[in-house]
Chain A
């Protein structure tokens, strides 16, 4: 009994961790800043391809794990200055601009690296034994990394000056500006931070995924739903949303094909939103 339960729980934990880490950036950009960013999947892709690039010049996984957030941050910062800052307050324009960006990034990455899935190496190989059950060690690392990142993000938002400024700026941009918080600067850093988190997630999931230019799209809709179901505007909501969506998907995919399970979970999420539009853990 316990031998069967442990892999199920660990598989669910793995998927929940993946969703948690890919949705954290979304929770900042979409949940807090209210910018609908359809290029979020490509930020994840950029992270994964940072790993590909670092490994192709002889660097290792750990170097990429440090490089990717920096690349993501720089990219997000520049993007916010030139594009995203023009579309605040107009969701339709944000959708169109970021979707256009997503299409361009996909093609540019594909032209640069080719269409075939890229080989990447994780830092650990082989399984470890937990209570007599063998489980891939990389997955355990992923779970730990996701929980650590989540905790760190919560701390940044609750305990640092930047977090306070950001929360104030979101609550009332005008009042925050009167109190000496520069909203342009805060927005740029928040968006860049969301992009950095997505790129970080990209490196972490790369050893478990097929690394192609289109990999990001798989996470786009699910991370939107994680944030919507969890409650837009709340970081703890991301954990609740990932838990529900990831847990259900794992349990369902034991019984029905994975694609159908994903579809069923997204349909369920639509139903949840009908009855609880503000999400499960609203801010």
Chain B
């Protein structure tokens, strides 16, 4: 058997799942009420955030522990631009979106340049990005004249562009879904192409890829900045939906939650990140309703189990259990 048909099939499956997923989500407004729809909108944007982490972590194998920084920068960029500057409401949202995405991308470019070109990889990258979230969180709380400090900023207007305001739940849900679908198909397309293959090669052996003439640092930096911009987009749209921004959007806990969303869906699959977000979000609602402290403990237990029991993610663990069980059925 040649390698080509195998590759084709493996590359097509996630895309098909993504198409089905987006189609199913697009039908949600027919079934759900306004309140539930607002929740689904938030989940779609958090899914976009998870997707942005998966683009970097899943494809390069380098774990960023600071992705909430970029989500938060997008959120604060949007909130500060629309609230503090008194811009014309017709354009404020677009300016805020631009500011949020740009802020996330520029910070990623700056930090990414210093650490990726400095040869910081693997676990050290994780520590530096962890510190990045702490710094960003410090600034969000400390610089209260701009960011509103601990209480954050209230009154972010709903997203509006070209004279249309995404005010009601249905239109704002479709806005979120549109952004998610665009980024999802875009990343699937890029990652299944030449660029994705180079990234996969870098994950396996960066030195070899460099020997072949690829500027691996530049490729990693591009991926990091793209991933950060996507997180910024998710953050900026998220606050137009909820209407307020608070320091927990730029906190370390969010940085770690997003890792769980991606891990549950299976890192590197892209579409899995979105599905993982939806599953964990449902769980979080259930667990948090028991006790306020229960959710962080659940996250902690999950991380420990993830390493000791299912290092390749729960999906892989379940699949292997099912396969082993099927084999047993056949032999007996």
Contact in complex: A97, B63 (CB < 8 Å): no
A94 to B123, CA, bound (A): 9
> For the complex, is B317 an interface residue (Cβ under 8 Å from A)?
no
Given contacts A91-B122, A221-B130, contact A103 B300 (CB under 8 A): yes
Least CB distance, B198 to chain A, in whole angstroms: 22
Given contacts A217-B252, A263-B139, contact A224 B303 (CB under 8 A): no
Given contacts A107-B293, A224-B131, A259-B138, contact A277 B119 (CB under 8 A): yes
> For the complex, is A14 an interface residue (Cβ under 8 Å from B)?
no
> For the complex, is B304 an interface residue (Cβ under 8 Å from A)?
yes
Contact in complex: B142, A259 (CB < 8 Å): yes
Contact in complex: B131, A97 (CB < 8 Å): no
> For the complex, is B301 an interface residue (Cβ under 8 Å from A)?
yes
Given contacts A36-B126, A36-B127, A103-B300, contact A273 B134 (CB under 8 A): no
> For the complex, is A23 an interface residue (Cβ under 8 Å from B)?
no
> For the complex, is A270 an interface residue (Cβ under 8 Å from B)?
yes
Least CB distance, B113 to chain A, in whole angstroms: 8
Q: Which residues B103-132 have CB closer than 8 A to chain A?
A: 111, 114-115, 117-120, 122-124, 126-128, 130-131
Question: How many A residues touch B, CB cutoff 8 Å?
Answer: 43
Return chain A residues, CB-CB under 8 Å to B303. Answer: 96-97, 99-100, 103
Return chain B residues, CB-CB under 8 Å to A36. Answer: 123, 126-127
> For the complex, is B143 an interface residue (Cβ under 8 Å from A)?
yes
Contact in complex: A273, B118 (CB < 8 Å): yes
- C-beta contact mask, B142-169 vs A, less than 8 Å → 1, else 0? 1100000000000000000000000000
A97 to B304, CA, bound (A): 5
Which of B10-18, B26-34, B276-284, B306-314 sits within the interface? B306-314
Picked from B114, B142, B304, the residue with its CB within 8 Å of the CB of A83 is B304
The residue on B at minimum CB distance from A276 is: B118
Return chain B residues, CB-CB under 8 Å to A221. Answer: 127, 130-131, 134
Least CB distance, B103 to chain A, in whole angstroms: 15
Return chain B residues, CB-CB under 8 Å to A108. Answer: 297
Return chain B residues, CB-CB under 8 Å to A224. Answer: 127, 130-131
A97 to B119, CA, bound (A): 25
> For the complex, is A145 an interface residue (Cβ under 8 Å from B)?
no
Return chain A residues, CB-CB under 8 Å to B139. Answer: 259-260, 263
Return chain B residues, CB-CB under 8 Å to A152. Answer: none
- Select the residue from B114, B127, B142, B302 with max chain A CB neighbours within 10 A: B127
> For the complex, is B141 an interface residue (Cβ under 8 Å from A)?
yes
A270 to B134, CA, bound (A): 14
Least CB distance, A25 to chain B, in whole angstroms: 16
Interface residues of chain B, those whose CB is within 8 Å of chain A, are 63, 65, 111, 114-115, 117-120, 122-124, 126-128, 130-131, 134-135, 138-139, 141-143, 252, 256, 259, 293, 296-297, 299-304, 306-308, 311
6 cross-chain pairs, A with B, having the tightest CB-CB distances, nearest first: A100-B303, A91-B123, A259-B142, A103-B300, A104-B300, A274-B118
Question: What 16 additional pairs, Cβ within 8 angstroms, besides A103-B256, A228-B124, A262-B135?
Answer: A92-B123, A93-B307, A95-B63, A95-B65, A95-B126, A96-B303, A96-B307, A97-B303, A100-B299, A103-B297, A106-B296, A217-B252, A224-B127, A259-B138, A259-B141, A270-B111
A selection of 14 A-B contacts at a CB cut-off of 8 Å is A83-B308, A96-B304, A96-B307, A100-B301, A103-B297, A103-B299, A103-B300, A104-B297, A224-B130, A225-B131, A259-B138, A262-B135, A273-B114, A277-B120
